Chains A and B, each alone.
Chain A
Amino acid sequence: MVGAGGDGIVTMADVLSQAAARDGLNVLKTEAYGPQIRGGESSSVVRLSGDPIYESGDGADVLVVFSWADFSRFKGECTPARNAVVLSDEADPVARTPEDLGLSADAVWIKLPFGKLSTDSGAKGSKNLVGLGVLTALFGLPEGTLRRAIVSRFGRKKAAVGEMALKAFEAGLLLGQTLPPMPERRLAFTPGPAKLIMSGNEATAIGALHAGCRYFAGYPITPSTEILMFLDEWLPKMGGSLVQTEDELSAIGAVLGASFAGEKAMTATSGPGLSLMTEMLGLASMAELPCVVVNVQRGGPSTGLPTKSEQSDLFQAVFAGHGDMPRVVLACSDVEDSFHTTVDAFNIAEEYQIPVIVLSDQLVAGRRETFDPASLVHEVRERRLPSAEELTDYHRYKETPDGVSPMARPGVKGGIYQTNGLEHDEEGSPGSGFLLHEEMNAKRYRKLRPIRDAHTFHRRYGPEDAEIGILCWGSSKGAVREAVRHANERGQKVAAFVPQMIYPFPKKELEAFLKGVKQILVVELSYSAQFYKYLRTFLDLPAERTHVYKRSGGKNLTVAEVDAEIVALLAGERVQERVSA
């Protein structure tokens, strides 16, 4: 669906998604906007299915365009399938041809009076609802549920507004019924119990609340701001506090202060903000202060592409910081995963007193997906507090086998200590001797081992005896998983390995996956191939059978791209692109 600002594209997609989720369909909805603050072109892709879906799909089966001028601004981001049904406004002065849309002979193009019908129905400016009516009639969408979705959306404050909106929908429905039916294109599904539908950012925020986070400090930055706004609404209702700070330095500083004081605390940011927080993450690592930093990646470097997705903050998350600075990096690969990854991040941060970075990205964070409400169950773990006995002779940084020392909460008599970013001894007193530094570095790094042993987060798709093994991470999972399914359906032995724990890395699990794999394909949205290079820091990837498919972000990874790589690899036709240093 594409239109100008005011055409109601976002609402149209929302109502459709809500109705589909209500009837138990699987939904995946993405949105894209122009750079304007308000108004301007917008587009939304909604994919619906009774079967599981993992990404947006490559070409739209149905394309609704209210304005071709706006459509052309989303070049390459919103394309119809070759045999698509295209519905456009007959009043649009811009002429387009099936050829320039890449349509084949079996495509159907219908020009309809969306604008006129909307005005005639009495609900002026409701071509989006007229459009929904047409779609419902043509493709067998759940008519009753859509009606209720419209009333719920528009009639909440004033019943008359809801009735007016329904008129536009009914007008579209009637129009749709006069069009030649397309029985083979109708949506086949059986209604089921209502699913949850939310964005990755919302799932992350809910994960934080579930984990017990009651303190958030943050600075607005696209595409992470939704987390701040969501928690601003809910934290005070749960007895928690949120402070919008003057900058990211202050945000992470306040998070560490709250953590020192005994609260579970989090901040959320995007690439430039994470850069600013880096020094403070070093303090968290040194002073062993639990904290969670969610980094919703966007195109970089610098201001880059604030509203588009990319996977190019991997190096920053894993390596940034001066000194030897243990931290944990997790990645979420879909919406439901964003909930679980965030809870895991808190569990690890609190249990091991270490900073945890959660790498999300604009694609996962901004899209809305359905899932089963019952899946939001996750164990919550707490930090280790000193026992009464330990408090009789308390040493904050006491050497322990796993490197984790009990952490006293201010207010507890006997728990007094002074922490700092200087190297320090077991008591926390500053020291700059070599032996002390070596011992304390070892203590802090020792924590990574039990973390690594206890958590081997990764996903694996495809047959055990795969010949082609695809390695990817984060939001690339969607397209890769679907491509693997296609390949397997074609009888091709292709599997994929998706780590969710990026640092420390589930190396043993990856080595087991690679056993027997003849060709390795690394897939990522980073121009300089950060993931491939990162893997090579601890894994020998033989050059002659390792292939890298990488490109800049700015456009989501498509199944077709991964499909094409698999086909070329199997045919022995893939030319290895040189990855520069």
Chain B
Amino acid sequence: MSEAATLPEFKPSDYKTDLKPVWCAGCGDFGVLTGLYRALTELQVKPWETVVVSGIGCSSRLPGYVDTFGVNSLHGRALPLAAGVKVARPDLTVIAVGGDGDGLAIGGNHFLHAARRNLDVSYILMDNEIYGLTKGQAAPTTPAGDKTKSTHYGNPEPAVDPCELAISVGATWVGRAFSGDLKGTVELMVKALRHKGFAFLNVMSPCVTWRGDDQFKSLKAKQRQLPENHDASSRAAALVYTRESEIVTTGVLFDVSEPTLLDRLATVKVNALAGKPQSTVADIIKSFQPSF
């Protein structure tokens, strides 16, 4: 048999588990899930060499629907778990997923440091500007003034733009997608997964239940593609497309190549060994026996 004939061919359905998503009908996360199946198919990654890690929230249920290795961990802690998997096993493809509350409120500290370290993980954030699972409270991405179940008289806090944050704290690839635009979402996911280093993809993913039907319509109306001549290697140029109010620009905002955490850890090992063979426990023990 020729090599080509033995190559496994994965179809989108090969990445699908039998579990039926718990999401509400019309949830934007369906678009993200379908997009991920297609992106994985395009990249032909082996399901058993892939790990999808999440925190807690509606969108964090996603790993259960992807037939790869998966961890649905604790609220806010997707990135620490993902870091542990990737550093221990650089051979695996590691994808972290979750919602805006999970990633930017309770998990905000980890987001900052994963980006700063340029952790070799793709992080897909499903941003619906609300806490869905707990039934409609304000999130860090909820616009100021919006009325929610925890801001009855209008949200007193300004929102964060996740992309602006990611660009500012060291992510080396930052993109924005809209889950209603499946083709665009798949393209961006493929690029994020191909990126070497911390790739952050913020997917605007409407919550029909707690943000109303018009969130989808309004996002669709606001969506603009990045201009063709956008310079993604420029932090300043990328930041132009953050903190937008009347438009939602999708595309690769920022894309640079820098040493990743794994690169740097590999350097640490080279420096530690200094050309000598690996140490053994016996070597270490011996160093505690005075020999002068």
Q: Is B292 an interface residue (CB 8 A)?
A: yes
A122 to chain B, nearest CB (A): 23
Q: Does A421 lie within 8 Å of B81, measured CB to CB? A: no
On chain A, the residues within 8 Å of B52 by CB distance are 418
Contact with B along A240-264 (1 / 0, CB 8 A): 0101011101111111111111110
Q: Does B84 lie within 8 Å of A283, measured CB to CB? A: no
Q: Is A59 an interface residue (CB 8 A)?
A: no
Q: Does B70 lie within 8 Å of A257, measured CB to CB? A: no
Q: Does A245 lie within 8 Å of B80, measured CB to CB? A: yes
On chain A, the residues within 8 Å of B112 by CB distance are 246
On chain A, the residues within 8 Å of B124 by CB distance are none
A429 in complex: contacting residue of B19, B261, B290, CB < 8 Å: B19
A261 in complex: contacting residue of B47, B89, B281, CB < 8 Å: B89
User: Count the B residues whose beta carbon is within 8 Å of the partner chain — how many?
Assistant: 58
Q: Is A430 an interface residue (CB 8 A)?
A: yes
Q: Does A254 lie within 8 Å of B80, measured CB to CB? A: yes
Interface hits, A252-278 → B, CB 8 Å: 252-263, 265
Q: Is B284 an interface residue (CB 8 A)?
A: yes
Q: Does A414 lie within 8 Å of B48, measured CB to CB? A: yes
Given A149-B290, A245-B113, A422-B72, A196:B84 Cβ within 8 A: no
Q: Is B214 an interface residue (CB 8 A)?
A: no
Given A237-B273, A416-B48, A257:B69 Cβ within 8 A: no
Given A209-B284, A245-B80, A238:B279 Cβ within 8 A: yes
Given A236-B272, A238-B279, A416-B47, A410:B85 Cβ within 8 A: yes
Q: Does B89 lie within 8 Å of A418, measured CB to CB? A: no
| Nearest B residue (CB) for A206 | B284
Interface size range of chain A in the complex: 35 or more
Given A412-B48, A420-B73, A421-B72, A256:B81 Cβ within 8 A: yes
Q: Is B234 an interface residue (CB 8 A)?
A: no
Q: Is B291 an interface residue (CB 8 A)?
A: yes
B89 to chain A, nearest CB (A): 4
Assembled-state Cα–Cα distance A418/B84 (Å)? 16
On chain A, the residues within 8 Å of B261 by CB distance are 243
Q: Does B292 lie within 8 Å of A260, measured CB to CB? A: no
B85 to chain A, nearest CB (A): 4
Q: Does A260 lie within 8 Å of B74, measured CB to CB? A: no
On chain B, the residues within 8 Å of A196 by CB distance are 285, 288-289
On chain B, the residues within 8 Å of A422 by CB distance are 72
Assembled-state Cα–Cα distance A293/B84 (Å)? 15
Q: Is A483 an interface residue (CB 8 A)?
A: no
Q: Does B74 lie within 8 Å of A421, measured CB to CB? A: yes
On chain A, the residues within 8 Å of B269 by CB distance are 236, 239
B120 to chain A, nearest CB (A): 12
Q: Is A325 an interface residue (CB 8 A)?
A: no
A96 to chain B, nearest CB (A): 35
Q: Is A522 an interface residue (CB 8 A)?
A: no
Q: Does A265 lie within 8 Å of B84, measured CB to CB? A: yes
Q: Is B29 an interface residue (CB 8 A)?
A: no
Most buried by B among A214, A236, A239, A412: A236
Contact with B along A193-226 (1 / 0, CB 8 A): 0111110001000100110001101000000000
On chain A, the residues within 8 Å of B280 by CB distance are 238
Q: Does B74 lie within 8 Å of A280, measured CB to CB? A: yes
Q: Is A19 an interface residue (CB 8 A)?
A: yes
B53 in complex: contacting residue of A194, A257, A414, CB < 8 Å: A257
Assembled-state Cα–Cα distance A45/B289 (Å)? 21
Q: Is B33 an interface residue (CB 8 A)?
A: no
Contact with A along B261-290 (1 / 0, CB 8 A): 100010011011100001111001100111
On chain A, the residues within 8 Å of B271 by CB distance are 236
On chain B, the residues within 8 Å of A413 by CB distance are 46, 48
Assembled-state Cα–Cα distance A57/B264 (Å)? 48
A368 to chain B, nearest CB (A): 10
Given A206-B281, A416-B48, A263:B88 Cβ within 8 A: yes
On chain A, the residues within 8 Å of B284 by CB distance are 206, 209, 234
Given A249-B80, A253-B77, A257-B53, A263:B290 Cβ within 8 A: no
Interface hit among B60-68, B201-209, B244-252: B60-68
| Nearest B residue (CB) for A237 | B279
On chain B, the residues within 8 Å of A376 by CB distance are 285
Interface hits, B52-108 → A, CB 8 Å: 52-53, 56, 63-64, 66-74, 76-77, 79-89, 91-92
Q: Does A18 lie within 8 Å of B290, measured CB to CB? A: yes
Given A257-B83, A260-B84, A418:B70 Cβ within 8 A: yes
Interface hits, A12-28 → B, CB 8 Å: 18-19, 21-22
Interface hits, B164-203 → A, CB 8 Å: none
B71 in complex: contacting residue of A194, A209, A234, A419, CB < 8 Å: A419
Assembled-state Cα–Cα distance A233/B272 (Å)? 8
| Nearest B residue (CB) for A409 | B89
Q: Is B51 an interface residue (CB 8 A)?
A: yes
On chain A, the residues within 8 Å of B278 by CB distance are 237-239
Q: Is A317 an interface residue (CB 8 A)?
A: no
A321 to chain B, nearest CB (A): 12
A380 to chain B, nearest CB (A): 10
Most buried by B among A19, A148, A196, A238: A238
Q: Does A194 lie within 8 Å of B88, measured CB to CB? A: no
Assembled-state Cα–Cα distance A106/B183 (Å)? 93
On chain B, the residues within 8 Å of A234 by CB distance are 279, 284
| Nearest B residue (CB) for A23 | B290
On chain A, the residues within 8 Å of B291 by CB distance are 22, 194
B67 in complex: contacting residue of A151, A239, A416, CB < 8 Å: A416
Q: Does A410 lie within 8 Å of B281, measured CB to CB? A: no
Q: Does A260 lie within 8 Å of B85, measured CB to CB? A: yes
Assembled-state Cα–Cα distance A413/B50 (Å)? 11
| Nearest A residue (CB) for B52 | A418
Q: Does B281 lie within 8 Å of A209, measured CB to CB? A: yes
29 A-B pairs with C-beta separation under 8 A: A19-B290, A194-B291, A215-B84, A217-B84, A237-B279, A239-B278, A243-B265, A245-B113, A249-B80, A249-B110, A250-B83, A252-B80, A253-B110, A254-B87, A256-B84, A257-B81, A257-B82, A257-B85, A260-B71, A261-B85, A261-B88, A265-B84, A280-B77, A411-B48, A411-B91, A416-B47, A418-B17, A418-B71, A422-B72
Give me 13 other A-B pairs in contact (C-beta within 8 A), A253-B79, A260-B51 excluded.
A196-B289, A238-B281, A243-B83, A251-B80, A254-B83, A258-B84, A260-B71, A280-B77, A287-B71, A376-B285, A411-B48, A418-B17, A418-B66
The 3 closest A-B pairs by CB, nearest first: A257-B84, A253-B80, A418-B70
